[in-house]
Structure 1
């Protein structure tokens, strides 16, 4: 008779991975103790949050002009920043792909992308507010920098994962580098590019409401002012409108993905 060995346990963690998980758990407990996070404090926060929600009803619908102008400006900031970010990220992602570019070029491009990704959009917005003044321009520039940091990295990684056979076949015809990119690279990554771009637009819609808090245009300024006036009814109206806008954007991006089979 042939001895049948017992089946090994699937996905069995190695000693190193278990030690790493234990280390992460211990550090999380240490961080909780250092940050003064406690269950009573959490319960107190729930009670205060419930009272805050109670103050938001009924919603204030009397400031429709402020709400409409702020939301339109936030939408414009998000669309412009996404468009500029995508246009700049395409060449940066191509230059950052290590399977197409020399090491010096790819690392330089990746350094620029990493620099754009290093700071939160609110911090970048503060810098641009100081540079160009209050208003939508600072918001557009701040979100453009953030878009480059996110999309540029994903574009470069997507290009590095393509099959080299199609690229070599196009090169074998004596095509120029531009034609190699157009016919050998782009067809393999177009659907992923569309997915990245639609996600970034969705992200910029959220961030455009946030950078306004520091004076970079959009509905965030009106939201911050409503909080300062304790006008919680109008705060709820703004928040509900932002949620509705994000949901509409999600439905739109889903339709775009279907067109490109993403």
Structure 2
């Protein structure tokens, strides 16, 4: 009697996945060719980039008063927009939670959040500049909508992931709806909400420099003007100031998280 030993492959090749990756690679090659991407342009771009960086060194901080005033305006835009946007995100995100609210309330809230997330901040800034004119107000309104879109969605999803046992226990004790939210829902999502809020404040600082390019206040307008005047040494000073501002914001965010985690 003969026995035949079968060799089994412990990890069978997934040909569908391999064909999928091959298709993605082929599409990237096709897209690069259709977008007129060539190595000669890439090499020329490296040379132009090196020349551009050379003109940025050394940075010019002679107009430091203008730099500081624009940075202060940028911070003011980010702080005001974050405060109002986060405050508005709380009820909107709560109304969008399907495990707590009825369907007739969740769909309008989620639709509004989706609208706030649908457009790039520059598009929002152009719309508000057209509506309210040039200046910080357009930037504040832009960042408020962006904050609602981001915080509202994450806060809504965080509420949907909570355990309903504490909520049901508080309801069984006869507590009103606000007490259920304060003692049954908020403690489960508070730390995550603080993380969302601090991250969004960092994002608003960055976006406030971007929306200024289209006239929505902040240091972005000065940055764009430096580009147009080929004032690259002052441009380098602006970029260094923005990097320093973001690093300070990151440090403050870490301290805030440490305080609430304790």
1:210 pairs with 2:210? yes
User: Residue 258 of structure 1: SS of its match in structure 2?
Assistant: helix
Q: Distance in 1 between matches of 2:255 and 2:180?
A: 30
CA 1:31–1:195: 2 relative to 1, 3 Å: same
How much does 1:38 deviate?
Answer: 2.2
CA 1:220–1:30: 2 relative to 1, 3 Å: same
1:101 maps to which residue? 101
How much does 1:244 deviate?
Answer: 0.6
How much does 1:40 deviate?
Answer: 2.1
1:90 pairs with 2:90? yes
User: Residue 134 of structure 2: SS of its match in structure 1?
Assistant: coil
2:168 maps to which residue? 168
Q: Distance in 2 between matches of 1:163 and 1:13?
A: 40
Query: Which structure's CA Rg is the greater one?
Result: 2
1:135 pairs with 2:135? yes
Q: Distance in 2 between matches of 1:94 and 1:29?
A: 45
Q: Distance in 1 between matches of 2:76 and 2:124?
A: 18
Q: Distance in 1 between matches of 2:162 and 2:238?
A: 43
Q: Distance in 2 between matches of 1:51 and 1:62?
A: 23
1:156 pairs with 2:143? no
Task: Count residues in correspondence.
Answer: 256
How much does 1:16 deviate?
Answer: 5.3
- Please list the CA deviations of residues 127-168 of structure 1 after superposition, one character each: whole Å capped at 9, or x if unmatched: 111111110000000011111111110000000000111111
TM-score norm. by structure 2 comes to: 0.92
* 1:8-87 correspondence runs (5 A): 9=11, 17-87=17-87
How much does 1:36 deviate?
Answer: 1.6
CA 1:65–1:99: 2 relative to 1, 3 Å: same
Gapped regions of structure 2 (runs ≥ 5): 1-6
Q: Distance in 1 between matches of 2:9 and 2:83?
A: 53
User: Residue 260 of structure 1: SS of its match in structure 2?
Assistant: helix
2:233 maps to which residue? 233
Q: Distance in 2 between matches of 1:96 and 1:202?
A: 25
Q: Distance in 2 between matches of 1:102 and 1:25?
A: 45
Gapped regions of structure 1 (runs ≥ 5): none
How much does 1:17 deviate?
Answer: 4.7
CA 1:91–1:232: 2 relative to 1, 3 Å: same
Q: Distance in 2 between matches of 1:227 and 1:14?
A: 51
1:246 maps to which residue? 246
Q: Distance in 1 between matches of 2:32 and 2:49?
A: 22
CA 1:13–1:89: 2 relative to 1, 3 Å: farther
Q: Distance in 2 between matches of 1:91 and 1:172?
A: 24
CA RMSD, 1 decimal? 1.9
CA 1:13–1:163: 2 relative to 1, 3 Å: farther
How much does 1:229 deviate?
Answer: 1.0
